Amino acid sequence: MKKGFTLIELLIVIAVIAILSGIVFASLGPSRAKARDGKRISDISQIQLSLELYRESNGRYPTAVYGNPAFDVYSQNTPRDPNGNNYFYSVSTPNGFNYHLGAVLEQVSPDKYDSDADLPQSAQRNWSVIGSVGGFDGVGQCGSTASLPDRCYDVEGSNAEQGTVSSGS
């Protein structure tokens, strides 16, 4: 009498393992999106701190946050979106006293959006086009005029003459 498993038994075990792993991977999808959104919000805060350091030293916000050697002093590795894209950044021209910075999140999460700036595109007069797009709509999809669902997390600076900055939270 031979000891071992039959081909049918092996196929059944492999099928059960495949089904279980499919269930596990399917349940991890939303968790991964939530983690990427958390990184985006953290990155925006990090860039925002670097922008404030730059403004303290230079009296205005930089014209660009990517590929700008003057800004690289304050943010040596300016974070990018987990998908590799630049975050949205616009600066008021010609004075550079205000900025608008944002990221497109993957999940609709009202608690995150209640604490952001939601600066509409119509409020951005005389803004330069910097980063992925300039003059993006913070109410909708960051870079489009779509208003639903709100997946744009955005923050803005305040007039440097007033010495205050909106933290977006």
pLDDT tens sequence across 54-82: 999 999 999 889 889 999 999 888 999 99
What's the half-sphere exposure (Cβ side, CA atoms, 13 Å) at 19? 6
- Min mean pLDDT across 6-10, 120-124, 149-153 is at 120-124
Is residue 119 within 8 A of residue 158, CB to CB? The reply is no
| 63 within a domain of the structure (yes/no) | yes
Which domain range does residue 18 map to?
A: 11-156
90 token code pair: 């616009």
Residue 163's region, left for phi above 0, alpha for psi from -120 to 50, else beta, is left
| 42 within a domain of the structure (yes/no) | yes
106 token code pair: 């993957």
| 47 within a domain of the structure (yes/no) | yes
Give the Cα separation of 87 and 131 in Å (integer): 7
Say yes or no to pLDDT of 153 above 80. yes
> What average pLDDT is seen over the chain?
77
| 1 within a domain of the structure (yes/no) | no
- Say what the pLDDT of residue 20 is: 95
Q: Count structural domains, the chain.
A: 1
Is residue 47 within 8 A of residue 75, CB to CB? The reply is yes
